[in-house]
Chains A and B, each alone.
Chain A
Amino acid sequence: MVTDLHQSAVASPTLEKTKERREWLRSLLIGLVILAAIATIPAYGDPSLLHTWTLIVMYIVLAQSWNFIGGYTGYAAFGNVAFFGIGSYSVGLLVLVGLPFWVGLIVGGIVAGIFALLIGLPVLRLRGHYFAIATLGTAEALREFIAVKDIGGGGGGLMSLPLPSLDAYPFLFYAFVGLSVVCLLITVVLVHSKFGYALIAIRENEQAAEALGIYTYWYKVGAFVLSAVPTALAGGLYAYWATGFDPGTVFDRGISIEMVLLTFLGGTGTILGPIIGGILFETASFQFQTSGLNLHNTLLGLSIVLVTIVLPQGLIRLFQEFTRRSTPGLTLANRFMEGLRRVRRYITANGI
C-alpha cells in the first residue's frame, strides 16, 4: 500500500528478470566499494575525521536496519530508537558489573530481539498511523521508565562507563563498518529470499498477500525482530564508544526519525538507499556542526520537509527514472531532456 508509484517502470517480465539480477549484483558491488572506501578512513590518522565517520556509519547501520521493517515491509516503525537504547543500556549495565564489552553487546542484541518480539505481537496487529504512533509511544515510555527508575545510577538514568583505551576507537569504527556490511549482505539476501518476497508482498498489498497463503503476521514480527537486532548492536557499540549517556540521548526520538529520513533520502526498500542517504545527509549535518552552528534539528526538520515534498521516492529511484531507457534513436541531448521531464513528473506526482 505504501508504494504505488514504484511500479510505473515495468518492462517485459523476462527482460526485467535478467536486468533485476544484474541490478542487485551491481548494488551489492557499489555498496561494498563505498564501505571499503569508508574503511580506509583510520589510515589518515585524523581523530576528528574518525569521530565523525564513526557516527556516520552508525547512522547508516540504523537506516539499513530500519529499511527491513520500514522499507521492505512498509510498516512505519517510528520507535526503533527503543532497540538502540536497549543495546546501549545492556552494554552499560554489564560493563559496569565487570563483564567484557562483547558480552553486553550480545546480550543487548538478544534482549532487543525478544523485546521486539514481545512488543511486536500486539503492535503489529495495528496498521498505518496506529502502528507508527504505537511504536513511537513504546520508545517514549521506555525512555521515561529508564529515567524514572534511574537505571544507570547517575541520576535520571545517566550512565558513565570507563573510557576505552585509545586504540579502541579504530576498532569500534571497524565494528560499525562490519555491521554495515552485514546489513548490506542481509538486505541483498533478503531481496532474493522467500522471506523477503513475503515482506514486499505485505508492503504492496497485505490482504492479497494473506490471501496467497502468507502468514503475514509472523513475517511482520520476523521483520521487526530483524530490524531490532542490528539496531541494538549499534546501540551497544555506541554505548562503549560514547562512555557517558542518558535516556535523553540513546532514546532520542530524533534518532528514530533520522533512520527514516536517511532511508527516505536514498530510497526506501532499496539496497543502497540507506547507505547513500546516510552519507549525504550526515556529512552535510556534521559540516554544519563543525562550522559552529547549533542548528542540527532545524537542518534535520528542513531536510525532512524538502525530501518528503521533492523526493518522496528517494534519490535512487529518481536516478533510475532519469536513466531509464527511452525511445531508441534519440540524441543524447534529447534523452537528457526526456530524463529531466520524467524526473519532473515524478516529483510532482503526489500533490492535489
Chain B
Amino acid sequence: MAFGQVLVNWLLLGSLYAAVALGFSLVWGIMNIVNLAHGAFIVVGAYIAFWMYRQLHIDPYIGIPITMAALFIIGWIVQYVAINRVIRAPFLVTFLLTFGLDLLITDLVQQIFSSDLRSINTTYAGNGFDIGSIHIAFDGLTAAAIAVLLTAALSYFLSRTRTGNAILATGMDRDAARLMGINIGRTYALTFGIGAALAGAAGAMFAELYPFNPSAGGPFTLRAFVIVVLGGLGTPWGVIAGGLAFGFAETVIPLFPGIGSGYDDAIAFAVLVAVLVFRPNGLLGKAFYS
C-alpha cells in the first residue's frame, strides 16, 4: 500500500478512535471510574443510529444529536441510580458494577435487535475524492471532523463554562467542591451522561462506517482504555494524541511481514503493556486532572 494512503487511513482511524475514547477518558478522569460499559454504550448508539436510519430515514451523521441525547439520558440514569451508590467503595466494586452493566446492556440489545451483523448503507457510502493515488472517503472524513469537533467542544465546555468548571473542580477534589456548593451527585450524573453521549456519537459514526453486532462493545472498551493510557489522563486533546498513536499501531503493525491481520486485541494488549512499562503517565506525560 502506498505510503500516502496509509497516512490517510491512519489519520481517519486515529480520530475515530479518539471519539471512541473521549467519554471514557472524561468519566475516568473526573470520577476515577473505569467504565467497562462504555463499549456497550457505543453499541447502543450504533443501534439507535441504525434504527433511526431504517425506520425514520435519518442519516446517522444528521442524527448524532438525537443519539447523543438518548445516550445522555441513559448515562444520567445509570449514574444516578446505580454508580452514585457505590462511588466511595473500593475501585473493584465500581469496576465490577460497570462490567455487570456491560453484560446487562449488551444482552438487552441482543434480545431486542438479535445478534445478526448489521450495517448502514448510505447512498454516498464509499464516495470520496482522490488526491493523486490517495482515496479519501467522505464518510470517513466526516467522522474524523466530527471527532475533532467533539473534542474541541468538550474542551471548551470544561474550561470555559460554569458547569464545566464545576465538573473539573469535582474531579480535582470532591470534598472541596462540595464545600463550594456543588451538588456532587448531580455533577457526577452529568459527567457520566456526557461520557455516554460521546459514546453514542462514536457509535453512530461507527455504524455508518463498519458493520456491527451487539457484542462489538468489548473490544471498544479495551481500546478506549489503551488510548486513554497512551494519551495520558489529561485533557480532551490527550485523547486525540492517544487515538492517533493507537491508530498508528493498528494500521502499521499488521503491515510488518509475518504478522498479518487478525491480531487486533493482541496488538492492543501489547501496546498497553509497553506503554505502562515505559511511559506510565502517557505519551504527553501529564497525569491528569487530579
Contacts and interface: CB of A to CB of B under 8 A. Distances in A.
B218 A253 contact: yes
Contacts of B95: 76, 78, 129, 132
Question: How big is chain A's contact interface, by range?
Answer: 35 or more
A143 B86 CA distance: 32
Contact of A261 (B84, B88, B96): B96
B265 A309 contact: no
A312 B93 CA distance: 7
Contacts of A253: 218
B85 A309 contact: yes
Nearest to B183: A352
Interface in B97-123: 97, 99-108, 111
10 contacts: A2-B91, A130-B229, A144-B265, A253-B218, A257-B100, A297-B103, A300-B100, A301-B103, A352-B88, A352-B185
Contacts of B185: 352
B130 to A, nearest CB: 34
Contact of A2 (B92, B263, B266): B92
Interface in A76-131: 76, 78, 122-123, 125-126, 128-130
B98 to A, nearest CB: 9
Interface of A: 1-4, 70, 74, 76, 78, 122-123, 125-126, 128-130, 132-134, 136-138, 140-141, 143-145, 148, 253-254, 257, 260-261, 264, 268, 295, 297-298, 300-305, 308-309, 312, 349-352
B289 interface: no
Contacts of B102: 301
Contact of A134 (B85, B100, B273): B273
Nearest to B266: A141
B262 interface: yes
Interface string B220-239: 00100100010000000000
A309 B225 contact: no
A134 to B, nearest CB: 6
B173 interface: no
Nearest to B96: A308
Nearest to B94: A308
Nearest to A294: B111
Contacts, number: 145
Contacts of A302: 100, 104
Contacts of B218: 140, 253
Interface centre among B82, B90, B103 (most CB of A within 10 A): B103
Contact of A148 (B91, B96, B262, B268): B262
B138 interface: no
Nearest to A132: B95
Contacts of A352: 84-85, 87-88, 184-185, 188
B119 to A, nearest CB: 22
B100 A3 contact: no
Contact of B93 (A134, A136, A298, A350): A350
A122 B101 contact: no
Contacts of A349: 88
Contacts of A297: 103-104, 106-107
Contacts of A254: 103
A140 B265 contact: yes
Contacts of A350: 85-89, 93
Contact of B100 (A133, A305, A351): A305
Contacts of B277: 122, 125
Contacts of B197: none
B86 A308 contact: yes
B263 A148 contact: yes
A257 B99 contact: yes
B168 interface: no
B107 A295 contact: yes
B100 A303 contact: yes
Given A137-B222, A144-B265, 8 more contacts: A130-B229, A134-B269, A144-B262, A300-B103, A304-B99, A312-B86, A352-B87, A352-B88
Residue of A123, A301, A351 with highest tally of chain B CB at under 10 A: A301
Contacts of B263: 144-145, 148
Given A141-B266, A301-B101, A351 B273 contact: no
Nearest to A76: B92
Contacts of B262: 144, 148
Interface in B249-289: 262-266, 268-270, 272-273, 276-277
Contacts of A130: 229, 276
Contacts of B229: 130
B34 interface: yes
A133 B34 contact: yes
Contacts of A145: 263, 266
A77 B225 CA distance: 16
Given A129-B34, A137-B222, A351 B88 contact: yes
B184 A308 contact: no
A297 B87 CA distance: 24
A333 B241 CA distance: 63
B103 A141 contact: no
B269 A138 contact: yes
B101 A305 contact: yes
Contacts of A1: 90
